[in-house]
Amino acid sequence: MARQSLVAMISDDLLARIVSGEFAPGSTLPGEQDLVVRHEVSRMTVREAVKTLEAMGVARIERGRGTFVNPFNRWTSMEAVLRATSTGENDASASIQLIELRRMLETGAAELAAERISDEELDSLREHLAAMRAAHEARDVGSFVEADLAFHDVILHASGNVFLAVLFEPLSRILAARRTQTSRVPQIQVNAIAEHGHIVEALASHDPERSRQAMDSHMAQTLRDLTTYVLNA
């Protein structure tokens, strides 16, 4: 097996063990010899694997002391962060921080989209909203989440800013999982439908400030629903 593949395999295994909680923040990772024996590879391969985790901000190498796991807030790799938050560890904190991130980015996206959104995109938003209403009435959580995600995707692309869509693409998996969790609550669906309706009206007016406020209202409602119906349940 090529060295690069071995390096990736070892770093992936170490990351999985960290994410699972086997190695908590502040703890020491196994030494070189332990990893050489476990994976049956050379010391050079092990060192490169550990450096990969260091580059991701997951671990830090202290000469003469060992390799230590960094606190979660020092991780710089989107892949690593998504893997950690997908495990359910620190679920409440991760859910809140995800909404905070969406609030910062999606309010700006709505503001930009107000002046750039096409009639076809507005029609698409209305179709997704209608699909959310139908899914709610049918008690179809999967279809509700699918329509909800598609609604927001239209706005991200309508903003005309390619970086917004690129930033959100890696979040799609975890967003889908979180929406499925919260959308099981019927009242949360009702609130979401109302807020999405306000967003469509605001975007149709092509008023940037009104659109920004409508999206901000939706994000605030989402956070209230999360804390009321999910985290405090």
Q: Which amino acid is at 175?
A: L
pLDDT tens, 160-197?
A: 999 988 888 777 777 777 888 889 999 999 999 999 99
Please name the residue that has the structure tokens 């940037």: 208
pLDDT at 91: 65
CB 86 within 8 A of CB 173: yes
How many residues comprise the chain?
233
Q: Which residues pair with 66 in a beta bridge?
A: 62
Cβ within 8 Å of residue 202, ≥6 positions away: 110, 114, 210, 211, 213, 214, 215
pLDDT at 87: 64
pLDDT tens, 144-156?
A: 999 999 999 999 9
**pTM for the full predicted model:** 0.77
pLDDT at 230: 86
Residue among 153, 217, 138, 214 nearest 183 (CA): 138
